[in-house]
Every structure is written in C-alpha cells, then in structure tokens.
Structure 1
C-alpha cells in the first residue's frame, strides 16, 4: 500500500520519531511501525489525526490505495457473503436435526433422561454446528487479513465526508476474538434452551 511509504516519508520530512507521532495521535509506537511496514492500516479516526499532523488531506494520503481497497472489498465481499450464508445454513440444519431426531426417535437410551433421538440429534448438532462455526471463524479471519472493515469505513468517508459511528464491525476489528466468542456462546445458549425444551416436552 502507498500509505505505508507516505507515512514514513511525511514523518521523516518533519524530523519526527515514531514515538512522537504515536503520542500526537494517541496510539502506540508499535501501531505506527505496523502502519509504516504495511502490516495494518489506520482507521478513519487515525487518518484524520495523521492528516492534521502532516497538514495533508486524507484523500492525498490514501489516493494511491483507493483502487486496491475497492478491489479488496469487492473480492472479499462475495466470499464473506457465501461463508455467512453457509454458517447460517449449517447452524440452522444443526437445530433442525436436533429437533427431528428428538421427536422421531423417543426410545429411551438409558443415558440420563435422554432418548436415543436426543443422543443422535446432539451428535449431529455438534458436527453441523462445528462446520457453521468454522465458517464464522473464516469470515472473521478474512476480515482481519485484508482489513476489510477499515477499507469500507475509509471508502465510505471518501465518498460522503462523514465519519461513521463505531459499530459492531468496528468492534469486531478492534477485538477480533470477541465476535467469535459471542457467536459461540449465542449458539450454545440457543442449543441448550432447545435441548431443555425437548426434554421438558418428552418428560
């Protein structure tokens, strides 16, 4: 990305160290180093502060990267959409098979209060839900790999001139593990509620 070269050049023109720049825009020195080495990309708020510090517009800072960002958004959008659909489909099938097996095979299994249908449904649920969960992780990794959320925010800002409010995607970018954990516990909670309901109905 062109921005990495631009940031280093602008900083050196003003005789600033990475530490001085980091303090001026309220990020860590390592963050500045990551930007200058093209490991990560600054969000819109950071770009605003950088543009003020270096007295240059955001458009000039990212001009050379706009096409690459738009290509990354377009290429990743379809893959993320397909993975998201797959995640929802497998998660839905997991709950469906749990319900169908439990209702269609009520014969006692001898294990706790669970029927053979409960056990078969639970086994199927685990396999299908694991596939769906793997797809959710793949989406999060794809976002992180190409910094898609940041690119979208920048593209939106360049077109509208408005800095968007922090949203779920922005939170997921700053805390990538959080999205995965939330999905895991949400799915597990729904599964437990459904299993409890089935046991209650059969009892």
Structure 2
C-alpha cells in the first residue's frame, strides 16, 4: 500500500481535515495534499510524528512502500554513479585535450575540449537533479530506520567529502591540464 493512501486513510479515520493535520504536523495544507496525491514524500521526522499521532507503527504507515523505497534508492544511486563517472571522465578528457589543443591546434581546436567540458557539466547537472527530484535522503533514512540502523549516518549536511570534491576536482583538473600542456609541449 502506498504512503499516500495510508496518510489519507488514517487522516479520515481520525476525523482530521487536511488543514487540521497540517497544523498538528507543522506543515502547510498543500504539503498534506502533495503527500496524499503522491507528489512528494514526508521526511522521517514527520513520518514518526504521524505514526504517534495516528497511533500506528511506522511499519504500518509505510508498509508496501519499503520495497519501493529500497528499489528507488538502488536505481537512483546507480544513475548517480553513472553520471558521476561520466562527469569525472569528461573532466579528465577535457584537461588532457587542453594540452593537445594548446600545443598542436589552432583556436578552432578548442571546440573539442569545450564539448567534453559540456558533457562533464551535463553529468553534474544530472547528479544534482537526481538528488533534488528523488527524496533519496528521506528514503535512505526510512530504510535505515526500518532495518534498525542509526539514521544519523545518513546526513543531508555537507561533509568533508563534499568539501573535498568541491576543492579537489577543480584542483585535479588544473594539475592534469598543466601536466598535459607541459608533456605535449615536449613532443
């Protein structure tokens, strides 16, 4: 059974309007409507509040959605891995091609590195879109909670890995590009 159906069922069972439920959960009426129409998904804290409010277990509230969440997390992580590796490969190709272009081609040769850089940007955009479109953080927390794992390990905050990728990727790009320019100048 879908969570949207469960929320509506328990809301109506307990005699709450969407407005009343929204007030009790500290969200807008539109948010309740979006949950009930499967346009968005409540976060783990709100699901826990609903399970207490409706006096049902979290398992009963999200039953049937758990397999869907596990599959969605796996599917979207695979998509993110594909686009992440595409992005890294395209950045690397761009850096190497800059050495070739600057040493052996005229100004029109810059089109090729621009294209590979465009592919890298497309990969970055796709990864960010997957993160925003799919509630992967929420799904991962719900799955972790249902399996008895701590949800704190799944953080939505920026960690040191995120900061290092913001600094490390451009730095690696510059180093590879400079090495490429230097090595191709020796030929």
* TM-score bracket for this pair, using the shorter chain length: 0.7 to 0.9
Cα shift at 1:101: 2.4
User: Is the CA contact 1:18–1:33 (under 8 Å) kept in the aligned structure 2?
Assistant: yes
State how 1:44-63 maps to structure 2 within 5 Å.
Answer: 44-63=44-63
Cα shift at 1:161: 5.0
Query: Partners in 1 of 2:141 and 2:60 — Cα distance?
Result: 17
- How big is each residue's C-alpha offset from its partner over 1:144-186, in whole Å with a ceiling of 9 and x where there is no partner? 44433321221112112533264248xxxxxxxxx9xx97xx8
Q: How many residues align?
A: 168
Match of 1:131 among 119, 128, 134: 119
Match of 1:156 among 130, 144, 152: 144
State how 1:8-157 maps to structure 2 within 5 Å.
Answer: 8-102=8-102, 104-105=103-104, 116=106, 119=107, 122-157=110-145
User: Is the CA contact 1:99–1:121 (under 8 Å) kept in the aligned structure 2?
Assistant: no
Q: CA RMSD in A?
A: 3.0
Cα shift at 1:126: 2.3
TM-score (norm 2): 0.74
RCO comparison, higher one (Cα < 8 Å, 6+) = 2
- How big is each residue's C-alpha offset from its partner over 1:43-102, in whole Å with a ceiling of 9 and x where there is no partner? 111111111221222121112111111122223332221121111111221122223422
Query: Partners in 1 of 2:25 and 2:150 — Cα distance?
Result: 19
Q: Out of 51-60 and 133-142, give the one that drifted further.
A: 133-142
Consecutive unaligned residues in structure 2, runs of 5 or more: 182-187
Alignment CA distance shift 1:120-1:93 (3 Å): farther
